Amino acid sequence: MNPIRRTSCIALTLGLILCSCTPKGWTEWEKTVIERSDSVMYVCVMPRDSAILRAHSRNFGQEELQSAQLKTLLDKMYRTLTDPSQDGVGIAAPQIGINRRVILVMRYDKPGQPIEPYLNIQIDSLLGEKEPGPEGCLSLPPYRGIVRRYPRVQISYVKPDGTPVTEKVEGYSAIIFQHECDHLDGILYTDRADTVFVNEKWAAERQGFSYEKPDWWR
CA-to-CA distance for 120 and 111, rounded, in angstroms?
A: 24
Nearer to Ni ion, 106 or 137 (CB): 137
- What x/- string results for residues 132 through 151 when contact with Ni ion is judged by CB under 5 A? -----x--------------
Angular region, 87: left φ>0, alpha ψ -120 to 50, beta rest: left
Q: Where in 78-137 is the site for Ni ion (CB under 5 A)?
A: 137
Closest CA to 144 of 198, 83, 87: 198
The conformation of residue 156, written as its DSSP 8-state character, comes to: E
Size of the site for Ni ion (CB under 5 A): 1
Nearer to Ni ion, 67 or 116 (CB): 116
CB 35 to Ni ion: min, Å: 24
Nearer to Ni ion, 34 or 184 (CB): 184
**What angle (nearest 5°) sits at the alpha carbon of residue 204, between those of residues 38 and 108?**
65
CB 14 to Ni ion: min, Å: 34
Nearer to Ni ion, 26 or 141 (CB): 141
Residue 155 interacting with Ni ion (CB under 5 A):
no
Q: Are 117 and 104 in contact (CB under 8 A)?
A: yes
- What x/- string results for residues 45 through 84 when contact with Ni ion is judged by CB under 5 A? ----------------------------------------
Q: Are 122 and 181 in contact (CB under 8 A)?
A: yes
Burial class (CB in 10 A: 0-12, 13-18, 19+), 142: middle
- Positions touching Ni ion (CB under 5 A) are 137
